[in-house]
């Protein structure tokens, strides 16, 4: 009977962790109107947007940068190649908004194997202000974007972050990506923040510039293959913290394929494995898979038959997914008839991606063939 009690205890522990993370996110991220007032002493802010190629929502996501309800900010678009097809769109947007301080910088500064970081170097070095936002090209900033990020700062905060919240899913696999991003990855990030283990995520990061400059500037982030992992380590080395915004920002998804969703998230899993291996190890408990298996096995060991084990498995999965559906409703995230099926598909994918990320090292990122082996070899050396 001891294995049965152990499995039942682990199942209860996983359920408790999940519902704690759901509660933490729901408490902080209830949907609200995007009308946060500008602070009375609003510091000027630099916004750096690294770009590569034209994406489905490029005109909307980049154009929104010019329409922020904030008195003073500069926009720096960064492109590596002078032949990039995004350049005419950026030039048109800049010309249409002469009231904004906006520039396009073209060129590549190789400081690491991370092409996004290389693209950001010139923008960081050109930025004029003490608060600097690094915002991915597919992030959609709301009108209160800057003040929302500023509001999360506390005296010991080095950076504020908004993870991406998937919106406008077109098709089933985009709904699966919403299930990964919105009520799964986001809530675990809020859980990490609650225990003092907040970490950077590269989609929307606002730096207190002096913190990174003390570490050697943006080039110091080349120490890791992922700039957000390097940012987290720089911040923790100075005994400072990363804080999350109270209502994360959208990333419009549009159409997604199974391959796109899987490859993107297994790539992130590989990066987590090599940059924070101790944090990656417990991810085998993610989703409902481990809890379902443990709960079903405990039901059998306590004398139940196959039907009882199946009923326990269904109950565990249902209670977890109902909690996530409630969270999505509270936070105003996309919900429709696909959501329950997408949650099940996500939980089937998670253990596969966990094992995949353990076994394989190579991936493709924006057309660049990359590997995490170099990071592991450097760490071992």
Q: Is residue 135 part of a domain?
A: yes
User: What span, in angstroms and rounded, lies between the C-alpha atoms of 116 and 225?
Assistant: 10
Q: Are residues 135 and 183 in the same domain?
A: yes
Q: Are residues 21 and 37 in the same domain?
A: no
User: What span, in angstroms and rounded, lies between the C-alpha atoms of 18 and 343?
Assistant: 14
Q: Is residue 270 part of a domain?
A: no
Q: Are residues 16 and 35 in the same domain?
A: no
Q: Are residues 237 and 310 in the same domain?
A: no
Q: Is residue 360 part of a domain?
A: yes
26 contacts 191 by C-beta, under 8 angstroms: no
User: What span, in angstroms and rounded, lies between the C-alpha atoms of 352 and 344?
Assistant: 13
Q: Are residues 170 and 87 in the same domain?
A: yes
Q: Is residue 72 part of a domain?
A: yes
Buried b (16+ CB within 10 A) or exposed e, 160-171: bbbbbbbbebee
Q: Are residues 164 and 94 in the same domain?
A: yes
User: What span, in angstroms and rounded, lies between the C-alpha atoms of 146 and 68?
Assistant: 8
DSSP label at 196? T
Q: Are residues 44 and 137 in the same domain?
A: yes
Q: Is residue 262 part of a domain?
A: no
The CATH number covering residue 181 comes to: 3.90.550.10
Number of domains the chain contains: 2
50 contacts 137 by C-beta, under 8 angstroms: yes
User: What span, in angstroms and rounded, lies between the C-alpha atoms of 370 and 195?
Assistant: 33
Q: Are residues 210 and 307 in the same domain?
A: no
Q: Is residue 289 part of a domain?
A: yes
Q: Are residues 40 and 21 in the same domain?
A: no
* Residue whose C-alpha is closest to residue 84's, from 55, 124, 47, 126: 55
User: What span, in angstroms and rounded, lies between the C-alpha atoms of 292 and 279?
Assistant: 22
Q: Are residues 307 and 163 in the same domain?
A: no
pTM confidence score? 0.91
* Residue whose C-alpha is closest to residue 232's, from 256, 207, 266, 254: 207
Q: Is residue 265 part of a domain?
A: no
* Residue whose C-alpha is closest to residue 102's, from 92, 113, 111: 92
Domain residue limits at 8: 2-25+276-380
Q: Is residue 174 part of a domain?
A: yes
Q: Are residues 205 and 66 in the same domain?
A: yes
Q: Are residues 187 and 323 in the same domain?
A: no
Q: What is the pLDDT along the chain (381 residues), one digit of tens a residue?
A: 788 889 999 999 999 999 999 999 999 999 989 999 999 889 999 999 999 999 999 999 999 999 999 999 999 999 999 999 999 999 999 999 999 999 999 999 998 888 999 999 999 999 999 999 999 999 999 999 999 999 999 999 999 999 999 999 999 999 999 999 999 999 999 999 999 989 999 899 999 999 999 999 999 999 888 899 999 999 999 999 999 999 999 999 999 999 999 999 999 899 888 888 888 888 888 889 999 999 999 998 888 888 899 999 999 999 999 999 999 999 999 999 999 999 999 999 999 999 999 888 776 655 666 676 555 444 444
CA 182 and chain centroid, separation: 9
DSSP string computed for 156-178: TEEEEEE-EEEEEEESHHHHHHH
């Amino acid at each position: 009977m001891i294995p049965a009690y152990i499995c039942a205890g682990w199942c209860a522990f996983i359920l408790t962790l999940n519902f704690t993370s759901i509660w933490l996110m729901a408490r902080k991220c209830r949907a609200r109107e995007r009308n946060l007032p500008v602070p009375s002493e609003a510091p000027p802010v630099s916004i750096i947007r690294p770009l590569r190629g034209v994406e489905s929502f490029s005109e909307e996501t980049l154009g929104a940068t010019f329409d922020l309800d904030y008195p003073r900010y500069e926009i720096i678009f960064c492109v590596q190649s002078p032949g990039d097809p995004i350049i005419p769109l950026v030039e048109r947007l800049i010309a249409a908004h002469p009231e904004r301080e906006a520039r396009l910088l073209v060129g590549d500064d190789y400081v690491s194997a991370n092409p996004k970081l290389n693209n950001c170097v010139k923008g960081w070095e050109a930025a004029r202000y003490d608060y600097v936002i690094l915002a991915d090209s597919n992030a959609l900033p709301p009108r209160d974007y800057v003040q929302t990020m500023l509001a999360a700062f506390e005296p010991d905060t080095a950076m504020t972050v908004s993870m991406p919240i998937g919106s406008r899913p077109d098709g089933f696999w985009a709904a699966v990506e919403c299930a990964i991003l919105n009520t799964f990855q986001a809530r675990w990030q809020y859980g990490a923040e609650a225990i003092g283990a907040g970490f950077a995520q590269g989609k929307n990061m606002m730096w207190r510039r002096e913190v990174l400059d003390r570490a050697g500037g943006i080039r110091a982030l080349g120490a890791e293959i992922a700039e957000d992992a390097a940012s987290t380590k720089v911040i923790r080395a100075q005994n400072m913290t990363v804080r999350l915004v109270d209502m994360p920002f959208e990333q419009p998804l549009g159409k997604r394929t199974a391959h796109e969703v899987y490859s993107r998230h297994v790539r992130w899993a590989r990066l987590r494995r090599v940059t924070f291996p101790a944090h990656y190890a417990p991810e085998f408990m993610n989703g409902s898979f481990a809890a379902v298996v443990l709960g079903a096995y405990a039901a059998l060991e306590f004398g139940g038959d196959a039907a009882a084990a199946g009923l326990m498995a269904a109950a565990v999965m249902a209670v977890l997914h109902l909690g996530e559906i409630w969270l999505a409703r509270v936070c105003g995230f996309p919900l429709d008839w696909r959501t329950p099926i997408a949650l099940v598909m996500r939980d089937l994918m998670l253990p596969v991606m966990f094992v995949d990320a353990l076994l394989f090292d190579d991936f493709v990122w924006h057309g660049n063939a990359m590997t995490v082996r170099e990071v592991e070899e450097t760490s071992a050396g």
